[in-house]
Amino acid sequence: MYTRRTLLATAALTLALAAPVGARADAPIPVVATFSILGDMVARIGGEHIALTTLVGPGGDAHVYQPTPADARAVSEADVLFVNGLDFEGWLDRLVEASDFDGTRVVSTKGMAALPFEEGDDHDDDHAGEAHGGHDDHAGEAKGEHGHSEHGHDEQGHDDHSEHAEGDHHGHDHGAFDPHAWQSLEFAVTYIDNITAALATADPANAATFYQNRAAYVAEIEALDAEIRAIVAALPEDRRTVVTSHDAFGYFEAEYGLAFEAPQGLSTESEPSAADVAAMIDQIREESISAVFVESITDNRLLQQIASETGATIGGTLYSDALSEPDGPAGTYLDMMRHNATTIAAALSSQG
């Protein structure tokens, strides 16, 4: 009896999903985004037509997040689940499985020429025969990433991740990519396109609105992109190295031509080695870098220690993986990008 009723209800629901033109057109569709930055993007496109739940809120660290039952419920009720992908949300698969999610899962970085994982990997040129030797040569690494950026641009749009991995000249044996793709405004447009397409499919009645929102948002993104390029271009050539806590700015680096260095790896969970810290101190001394930047989500004691040893000052707080509270300096994605760029520029240009 119950089974039949459930089946009927499911059938009705499926029909409703397939053709939500009628009664459902006005009800906001439930969607879930995994972390605050993605949530902000989704909110901008969906507007009032979606009921958005963001799992890892402002100030949260999505690398090491532990989902709650409330999260599982939100996911199970959602029609669309927006994730970053590129192994950013390691906890997500278990959550999706546990919550019986039956909607559409949208990988927002789909179709991007993602940057390969650069930290702690396999540059064979230093420390021959030593597996962990990857990040002694920081200057070389930075150059390597610039190389990647051009590589990425050429292939953008017609590239998928596996192709990229195979065609890559570095031989990344773990096949991992840097997940922090939102740090490039150009890639943000891809995020927006993926989000818009998914929302339009889920709620065709409001597709036109979504595309209007997209156009407005993309215009803002492009304006900010130009703004940041101008900010960076105004910096002297030898004042373009930024030291921060964990490797979250690979895309910013590739896009805008700043070199980012971090003692901690790509995830906030990794532990640095004495060699990493020593190499970083050498680099700061050699290039007379006078400001380092702390991040909102990580333990900054190590960076403060490096700063005090080299005499560098703390140039400000950067927001890498999470927005600040709405009234903070990085309440939205665009504010975050602007805040990071201006903070970096202010500290780097003021140095002697």
Partner 1 sequence: MIWDALIEPFAAYGFMRRALIGCVAIALGATPVGVFLMLRRMSLTGDAMAHAILPGAAIGYLIAGLSLTAMTIGGLIAGMAVALFSGFVSRATPLREDASLAAFYLISLAVGVLIVSTRGSNVDLMHVLFGTVLALDNAALTLLCAIASVTLITLAALFRPLVLECADPQFLRSVSGWSAVTHFAFLALAVLNLVGGFHALGTLMIVGIMILPAAAARFWASSVGGMIAVAVLVAIVSGMAGLLLSYHYSLPSGPAIILAAGVAYALSLIAGPIGGLGRSALGYPNIQA
- Candidates 109-117, 129-137, 232-240, 336-344: pick the segment binding partner 1 (CB under 8 A): 129-137
Name the nearest CA neighbour of 180 among 276, 301, 319, 328.
319
Of 51 and 277, CB closest to partner 1: 277
Q: What's at 125, amino acid-wise?
A: D
Cβ-proximal residues to 115 (8 Å cutoff; 6+ apart), any chain: 145, 148, 149, 152, 177, 178, 181, 250, 251, 254
Q: Output the six-digit token pair for 13.
A: 């629901």
> Using the rule CB under 8 A, which residue among 47, 59, 257, 328 binds partner 1?
59
Alpha-carbon torsion angle 198, 203, 206, 211, nearest 10 = 10
Shortest Å distance, C-beta 239 to partner 1? 25
- Candidates 52-60, 142-150, 196-204, 216-224: pick the segment binding partner 1 (CB under 8 A): 52-60
> Using the rule CB under 8 A, which residue among 50, 297, 344, 345 binds partner 1?
297
Q: Output the six-digit token pair for 19.
A: 């053709």
Footprint on residues 186-205 left by partner 1 (CB under 8 A): none
Residue 146 half-sphere exposure toward CB, CA atoms < 13 A: 12
Q: Output the six-digit token pair for 248.
A: 């979250």
Footprint on residues 239-268 left by partner 1 (CB under 8 A): 268
Of 64 and 346, CB closest to partner 1: 64
> Using the rule CB under 8 A, which residue among 56, 83, 92, 142 binds partner 1?
56
DSSP-derived 3-state class of residue 318: strand
Footprint on residues 307-326 left by partner 1 (CB under 8 A): 308-309
Q: Do the beta carbons of residue 297 and residue 254 sit within 8 Å?
A: no
Q: Output the six-digit token pair for 249.
A: 């700015």
Give the residue carrying structure tokens 């600040």.
324
- Does the protein bind partner 1 through residue 162 (CB under 8 A)? no
CA distance 90 to 134: 24
CA distance 280 to 311: 13
Q: Output the six-digit token pair for 136.
A: 């002694």
> Each residue of 113-124: b (16+ CB within 10 Å) or e?
bbbbbbbbbebe
> Using the rule CB under 8 A, which residue among 124, 130, 150, 154 binds partner 1?
130
- Candidates 80-88, 92-100, 190-198, 276-284: pick the segment binding partner 1 (CB under 8 A): 276-284
- Candidates 45-53, 154-162, 179-187, 275-283: pick the segment binding partner 1 (CB under 8 A): 275-283
Of 190 and 300, CB closest to partner 1: 300
> Using the rule CB under 8 A, which residue among 16, 223, 278, 346 binds partner 1?
278
- Does the protein bind partner 1 through residue 124 (CB under 8 A)? no
- Candidates 59-67, 92-100, 186-194, 328-336: pick the segment binding partner 1 (CB under 8 A): 59-67
Of 196 and 300, CB closest to partner 1: 300
Shortest Å distance, C-beta 282 to partner 1? 9
Residues that bind partner 1 (CB under 8 A): 56-57, 59-61, 64-66, 68, 127, 130, 132-136, 268-278, 281, 297, 299, 301-302, 304-306, 308-309
